[in-house]
Amino acid sequence: MMGRCTLHIALLVCFSTSALAVSYKLLGFQLRSSSLECQELLLKLNGTSKYCLKDRMNFEIPEEITKSQPFQKEEAILVILEIFQKIFDIFSRNISSTGWNETTVENLLATLHWQKEHLETILEEIMEEENFTWDNATLLHLKKYYLRIVRYLKAKEYSTCAWTVVQAEVLRDFFFLDRLINFLQN
């Protein structure tokens, strides 16, 4: 009986040290629901589409995101966090000219923030537990991409049309984000 007991304890210890304390399955679940809510909120924000066609711009989203190249789970979390952070940063800027419903924008920011906080906690756990290496190139390309969007907004002086274009672009980002979330399931 004692022998079996110690064996069980030993097994538990082995498993708990080797297994990461993050349930990727649950995280994927959460991320998907957050992404869905954000998309619903974004769609609620009305855009004046016709007059803004001339303001369209190709922001050149990085290829690593669009071509669904496979990511390691930890790298996927890094990239997903980066996207959430940047979208939060964009929408916390001057939105007054758009005439968008303030409550909707607040809810959007609240959802993004909620997911961001949780991802940050998990990432800190990962950093402590593992020594994994990642390729900075994807993150840098993402940062460049979002810099283009922010510069565009500044250049257009945060006009309504500029925001509409950005809203459409960010909606597209969520589509690619959903694909990235799938990498957490494997």
Partner 1 sequence: RRMFSLLGATTLVLVAGAPWTLPAAVGGINLKSPQNVEVHIIDDTFTLSWNRSDLAVGNVTFSADYQVPRNDTWLKLPGCQSITSTKCNFSSLKLNIYEEVKLRIRAEKGNDTSPWHNVDAFTPFEKAQIGPPKVHLEAEDKAIKINISPPGAKDGIMWALDSSSFTYSLAIWKNSSSAEVRTKTVYPRDKIYQLSPETTYCLKVRARLLPRKIGAYSPVHCIKTTVENKLPPPENIRIDAKNDIYVLKWDYAYENVTFQAQWLHAYFRKIPGSESGKWRQISDCANVKTTQCVIPQNTFQKGIYLIRVQASDGNTTSVWSKDKRFDPQLQSVLAPPVINMKSTNDVSLRVYISAPEESENKSVNQHYSVIYEIVFWENISNAERKTLEKRTDLTFPNLKPLTVYCAKARALTADERWNKSSIFSDPVCEKTKAGNTSKTWLIAGICVALLSIPVVSYVLKLLLRCIRYVFFPSSKPPSTIHEYLSEPPLRNLLLFTSEEQTERCFIIENTNILTAVEEPDQAGEDHKKYNSQTSQDSGNYSNEDESNGSKCGEDFPQEEAE
Residues that bind partner 1 (CB under 8 A): 4, 7-8, 11-12, 15-16, 19, 21-23, 25-27, 29-30, 33, 37, 78, 81, 85-86, 88-89, 92, 106-107, 109-114, 117-118, 120-124, 127, 134, 136, 140-141, 143-144, 146-147, 150
By C-beta, is 148 or 168 nearer to partner 1?
148
By C-beta, is 71 or 146 nearer to partner 1?
146
State the nearest-atom distance from the C-beta of 29 to partner 1, in Å.
5
By C-beta, is 63 or 124 nearer to partner 1?
124
By C-beta, is 48 or 151 nearer to partner 1?
151
By C-beta, is 112 or 177 nearer to partner 1?
112
State the nearest-atom distance from the C-beta of 44 to partner 1, in Å.
13
State the nearest-atom distance from the C-beta of 42 to partner 1, in Å.
15
Whole-angstrom CA distances from 177 to 32, 87, 102, 182 are 9, 12, 25, 9
State the nearest-atom distance from the C-beta of 134 to partner 1, in Å.
8
